Amino acid sequence: MKVALAQLNFHIGNFHSNREKIIAHIRKAKHAGARLVVFSELSVCGYHPYDLLEREEFLEWTNESIEIIGKECIGIAAIIGAPTINKSQKGKKLYNSALFIEDGKIKQVIHKTLLPTYDIFDEYRHFEPNNNFSLVEFMGKKLAITICEDLWDDQPTNNSFGRNKLYSKTPLEELSRLKPNLIINIAASPFAYDQEGKRKEILTRNARKYNLPLIYVNQVGAQTELIFDGGSMCINQKGEVEHELAYFSEDFRIIDIEAQNEKNLQPVFSEIGKIHDALILGIKDYFGKMGFSRATLGLSGGIDSAVVAVLAARALGPENVRVLLMPSKFSSEHSVEDAEILARNLGIKHELIEIQPMVDAFEKGLANSFEGLSPDITEENIQARTRGVLLMAISNKFGNILLNTTNKSECAVGYGTLYGDMNGGLSVLGDVYKTDVYRLARFINIQSEIIPENSITKPPSAELKPGQKDTDSLPDYHILDQILFRYIELNQAPVEIINQGFNEDIVKRTARMVNSNEYKRFQAPPILRISSKAFGFGRRMPLVARYEG
Amino acid sequence: MKVALAQLNFHIGNFHSNREKIIAHIRKAKHAGARLVVFSELSVCGYHPYDLLEREEFLEWTNESIEIIGKECIGIAAIIGAPTINKSQKGKKLYNSALFIEDGKIKQVIHKTLLPTYDIFDEYRHFEPNNNFSLVEFMGKKLAITICEDLWDDQPTNNSFGRNKLYSKTPLEELSRLKPNLIINIAASPFAYDQEGKRKEILTRNARKYNLPLIYVNQVGAQTELIFDGGSMCINQKGEVEHELAYFSEDFRIIDIEAQNEKNLQPVFSEIGKIHDALILGIKDYFGKMGFSRATLGLSGGIDSAVVAVLAARALGPENVRVLLMPSKFSSEHSVEDAEILARNLGIKHELIEIQPMVDAFEKGLANSFEGLSPDITEENIQARTRGVLLMAISNKFGNILLNTTNKSECAVGYGTLYGDMNGGLSVLGDVYKTDVYRLARFINIQSEIIPENSITKPPSAELKPGQKDTDSLPDYHILDQILFRYIELNQAPVEIINQGFNEDIVKRTARMVNSNEYKRFQAPPILRISSKAFGFGRRMPLVARYEG
């Protein structure tokens, strides 16, 4: 039996476009002789619609789409993902479902059993968990259809004080009692560079454990912060990946589940290469799905804005990126030069506006209020905010969305000016530690020097006062990032980090900076997520806490 | 038996201060002859610590506090709220628990059964639901101890396409089989002006239904956005409220549950009066818990900033409020005058800075880039952002936290400038519709004209271009607010709103404005929540959705 894997990029709430895509691929699959075509989780409406799921019209449009798609399923069956109504009058009003459509009708509806409620996930907010297990019979085969987390029954709780097995049910255990011939998993599993191996491990382990072939169809494309990487797979009953679809782009493949095919896998790819591609997809889809095509950003001559400019040019085309160079009296000569070289290398439009006249105007306006007081961080922030105003003016006038260039290290310790360099519609590097920004720059320059070497090698500086260096206020990034990774991604207590040999003062100061800057991050732009613990929706910390941990 | 109700204001993660408060009230209760003292939900750590619950040191400090508090419980028992560890190795690692402490030891631990996961609530993210029901025997009585939502078993799902009963368990039904003599509910139930009656109704109905007296102890005080209003109660078995503790302030009362006492209730209070008090508490606690004492804001002469200035002066003291008047060439003469009168009425420090020189500097700096282009919203935004920079300069220099003055109507339709008038550490009116801002102003002026009448009666204007009025871009607020309330609070579909007689074009335009401005609200300050559906954490909408509902 030929099965088509349709790994597509859906747009939340864009029922028309999602439906057209699904229908086109049903036809394509049918034309190629497939008997079944599989789409990803919540494919009809896009994953995840959050509270749009509480709205009547959203459900009406979902059902309308399902009906139209259903009519296409003649001579071919399809598995699509959609929310469906829980008719029992008890529990959450919706299920997160896989619809098996055959002969133009919904033949069977399978609901998701394991609903993640950690990190970025809140599925129990909207969905009732499944409690009944059945197979779908099709062409003499029995299909065990599952949805994403349903295979992650081993998931542990994320506590630094001891782990529990999060779920008490094992959907495949229940389904295997009914003697299926094939496992199908439809998913919306976002990319995290530090979790990639885990996904493949879980899928292959399940195939092996139940001695069944497994078809896995994942969503691809970014939805604001979340970047879905695709990488759909077909795994044989020995747990070997036989087919692997593309990462970070749409893909479609027809496989014969009975045939012994040559393996058809994706080329092995470096971690930093994946992060690079993930960020480009993240930018591209944010713009595309918001209906914008052009970006702007401030180019300081430093490494962060250089990397963002490259990624933006690659995502949107250099003709769609317009940058501002905004030197102050504290900017080094090199800064402007480095920024200009980069802009020329990329072929992006760049303009230079000196900020001193506006800064002077602010300082003059504030002179009475500030009489007798020495300059401090206030005056540094005025510079950063003046740049923010200029960039937003370009954004407003030309419709270029401002890209934020703050990296994760800065975002963590609050090294940045709210309403200044923290501005932007999207934070490109907010989940990339400074040391990884260096790796990205090296990756970008691997074939030729796109980013001037000087931007990479010079000591990082905000250039807001004479001779300023980041290390005046912060630990060295290679130390800081190690501490931050342990504190944020690994959720380790300061004492645990100190016990690993890190300097006690630095660890405590770092933890204090992270905790006292929740208020800044609260107003940060959405951050493209590439790790298992990004700032934003997946890390929810109270603002008013007094917390010395 | 004398029972003490301790309605206190806790600070998340501030174990030392919470513990001192709890111990002081254990002693006070014991001194007054009480045999039992009841504290609110998660009182040891403050409600809600969110992801701090995933950290080892947080649990260690919790346990340390419990141990110290326990030693005080000699000759008196106490019920305190705290997270406790789920030792079963399955499910979430924590319970949300009520600890019954007697003779210096934890005698019994009761876990919360119904974990809300809607609106602002995510309790299932961290807590495992209880599944075992038992009473606590104390002084010959059997106590049915429950935690907040446990009594809200009738809670419906929040869907505009049909409601389900959210929970399938009824904790009191289970507990009533064990023949209790008294229901105790410890809570952290936030204020919402449109849900107030519901809480009392649910509590009295449960007392009546099970024919049992009920003691309800709620948290008081604000935790960033959430304002807990207190209003703890003692209800007799006929369902009559016999004792009611203060709203919006700490309170403590000892009641004899056997005695027939005179009713001791709170004075009846208007809805707008409650909103007024809630916002003051919200400001006060945000500052107090963040460790700040002083505020700043821009006073435009309009009603929104006037109301915020009054609330700030009442919350923090007029000596701690410092305002900026920042007229432009488009400001009416009246604006400055009205602002000055208000500042004098309040006795707050005010300074005037003309923004034109900075605006000119920006326009000059941008002249090359903007050559040949007509002025548009860009130039309006430059004015708003110039004001934003000035206010943040005052904030940075003097440590006065900037209060945001955007109201809910503006926030809903995106009528405001990101990084301009949307700046601030806390949004005071972001959950108050414009028409309710008028009611607040009238309430403030009830005894004397604090806010100049002219600020209230003149047509609302952003004063960013000549003769500009809000109604140039927006429907009349009395129409707009009705539509917004139906769309946001009631979750009604546009067609449903149109069917109630509202103009189709206005409804559709309003819905479009709400949906297309998610990106602005994403970066808004935390908003003091006074309704059942505030913008922010309780209303989660995807940014990149294409959504025409």
pLDDT in tens, B276-289: 999 999 999 999 99
User: Does B526 sit within 8 Å of A525, measured CB to CB?
Assistant: no
At residue A358, the pLDDT reads 98
**Residue in chain B nearest A161 by alpha carbon:** B56
pLDDT, mean of residues A64-70: 98
What pLDDT, in 10s, does the model give residues B428-441?
999 999 999 999 99
A549 confidence band (pLDDT: 50, 70, 90): low
CB-based contacts of A146: which residues, under 8 Å, 6+ apart? A98, A110, A112, A113, A171, A172, A175, A183, A184, A185, A186
Residues A493 and B57 sit within 8 Å (Cβ to Cβ): yes
How many cross-chain Cβ pairs, A to B, lie less than 8 Å apart? Answer: 324
Are the CB atoms for A535 and A430 separated by under 8 Å? Answer: yes
**Residue B305: CB atoms within 10 Å:** 25
Phi and psi of A141, rounded to 5°?
Answer: -115, 155
Q: How many helices (H) and strands (E) does chain B have?
A: 17, 19
B157: chain A residues, CB-CB within 8 Å: 92-93
CB atoms closer than 10 angstroms to residue B292: 15
Among the partner residues B373, B496, B544, nearest to A286 by beta-carbon distance: B544
pLDDT of A428: 98
pLDDT computed for residue A158 by the predictor: 83
Contact B546 A11 (CB under 8 A): yes
Q: What is the pLDDT of residue B161?
A: 86
Query: Which CATH class, in words, describes the domain spanning B291-471?
Result: alpha beta
Domains A2-264 and A274-472 share a fold: no
The answer to whether the Cβ–Cβ distance between B50 and A542 falls below 8 Å is: yes
CA distance A126 to B522: 21
Residue B512 to residue B546: CA distance in whole angstroms: 10
Q: What is the per-residue pLDDT across A505-516, written as a single tens digit (0 to 9) for each?
A: 999 999 999 999
Establish how many alpha carbons lie within 13 A of residue B486's alpha carbon, considering only the half-sphere containing its beta carbon: 20
**Beta-sheet pairing, B295-298 with B401-404:** parallel
- The domain ranges of chain B are 2-268, 291-471
Catalytic (active-site) positions of A: 41, 112, 148
- Give me the CATH code for the A2-264 domain, please: 3.60.110.10
Quick: pLDDT tens for A265-287: 999 889 999 999 999 999 999 99
State what percent of residues in chain B have pLDDT above 70.
Answer: 100
Interface test with A, best of B326, B389, B400, B492 (most A CBs within 10 A): B389
Which among B30, B112, B274, B284 is annotated as catalytic?
B112
Mutate to test the interface with B, among A127, A497, A544, A546 (most CBs of B within 10 A): A544
How far does the CA of residue A376 sit from the closest CA of chain B (Å)? 8
Cβ contact, residue pair B544, A224, below 8 Å: yes
Q: Does domain A274-472 have CATH number 3.40.50.620?
A: yes
Interval B287-329: pLDDT, tens: 999 999 999 999 999 999 999 999 999 999 999 999 999 999 9
| Interchain pair B50, A541: CB under 8 A | yes
Q: Which residues of B touch A365 (CB under 8 A)?
A: 353-355, 357-358, 390
Selecting from A13, A394, A423 the residue whose C-beta is nearest the C-beta of B369 gives A394
Determine how β-strand A136-138 pairs with β-strand A141-147.
antiparallel
Q: Interface pTM (ipTM) of the complex?
A: 0.96
Q: Do B164 and A89 touch (CB under 8 A)?
A: yes
Nearest-CA distance A392 → chain B (Å): 8
In terms of phi and psi (left: phi > 0; alpha: psi -120 to 50; beta: otherwise), the region of B277 is alpha
Write down the pLDDT at residue A61.
Answer: 96
Instruction: Please report the pLDDT score of residue B549 as a whole number.
Output: 57
Residues of B in contact with A541 (CB under 8 A): 50-52
Instruction: Using CB atoms within 10 Å of the CB of residue B111, give its burial: 0 to 12 exposed, 13 to 18 middle, 19+ buried.
Output: buried
Q: What is Dmax (Cα atoms) for chain A? A: 87
Catalytic residue among B45, B73, B148, B234: B148
Average confidence score pLDDT of chain B: 96
- Chain A, nearest residue to B88 by Cα: A164
d(CA A410, CA B14): 26
Contact A161 B289 (CB under 8 A): no
pTM of the shown model: 0.97
CB contact under 8 A, A358 and B357: no
Closest CB to B544 among A290, A362, A369: A290
pLDDT tens digits, A287-332: 999 999 999 999 999 999 999 999 999 999 999 999 999 999 998 8
Distance in angstroms (rounded) separating the CA atoms of residues A381 and A386? 8
pLDDT of residue B258: 87
Q: Are B247 and B231 in contact (CB under 8 A)?
A: yes
Q: Residues A130-159: what's their mean pLDDT?
A: 96
Residue the block writes with tokens 């003097």? B398
Q: Look at B369 and A117 and tell me if their CB atoms are within 8 Å.
A: no
Residues 6+ apart with CB under 8 A from A337: A301, A452
pLDDT (0 to 100) of residue A522: 97
Integer Cα distance of B163 and A85 in angstroms? 11
Whether B83 contacts B62, CB under 8 Å: yes
The model's pLDDT over B91-148, given as tens digits with 9 standing for 90+, comes to: 999 999 999 999 999 999 999 999 999 999 999 999 999 999 999 999 999 999 999 9
* A62, A69 contact by CB (below 8 A): no
The arithmetic mean of pLDDT across residues A391-408, rounded, is 98
Torsion of CA B419, B423, B429, B430, to 10 degrees: 50
A4 backbone dihedrals φ, ψ, rounded to 5° = -100, 135
Q: pLDDT tens digits for A199-257?
A: 999 999 999 999 999 999 999 999 999 999 999 999 999 999 999 999 999 999 999 98
Q: Look up tokens 């939900």; give the residue.
A: B41
Task: Name B96's bridge partners.
Answer: B83
Matching residue, tokens 């990149």: B544
User: Is beta strand B36-38 parallel, antiparallel or unpaired with respect to A251-256?
Assistant: unpaired
Token pair belonging to A134: 């059945």
Give the nearest chain B residue to A322 (CA atoms): B369
Q: Give the residue from B122, B154, B374, B544 with the most A CB atoms within 10 Å of its CB, the best one to mutate.
A: B544
DSSP string, B217-248: EE-EEEETTEEEEB--EEE-TTS-EEEEPPBS
- pLDDT digit string (tens) for B163-191? 899 999 999 999 999 999 999 999 999 99
Is there a catalytic annotation at residue B397?
Answer: no
Q: Do B52 and A91 touch (CB under 8 A)?
A: no
Cβ–Cβ gap B369/A353 under 8 Å: yes
Domain B2-268 has CATH 3.60.110.10: yes
Structure tokens at B150: 């446990």
- Using a CB-CB cut-off of 8 Å, the residues of chain A touching B158 are 54
Options B30, B41, B234, B411, the catalytic residue: B41
Q: Span B210-238, mean pLDDT?
A: 97
Whether the CB-CB separation of A341 and A333 falls below 8 Å is answered with no
Alpha-carbon distances of A157 from A173, B83, B127, B196, rounded to whole Å: 21, 15, 11, 36
| Closest to B72 in 3D by CA, of B80, B83, B84 | B80
Burial B416-436 (b: 16+ CB within 10 A, else e): bbbbbbbbbbbbbbbbbbbbb
Shortest CB distance from B366 goes to which of A290, A393, A523?
Answer: A393
- The mean predicted confidence, pLDDT, of chain A is 96
Residue B41 bears catalytic tag: yes
Give the pLDDT band of residue A540 (cuts 50, 70, 90): very high
- Looking at residue B548, what is its pLDDT? 67
> Which residue of B lies nearest to A56 if distances are taken between CA atoms?
B161
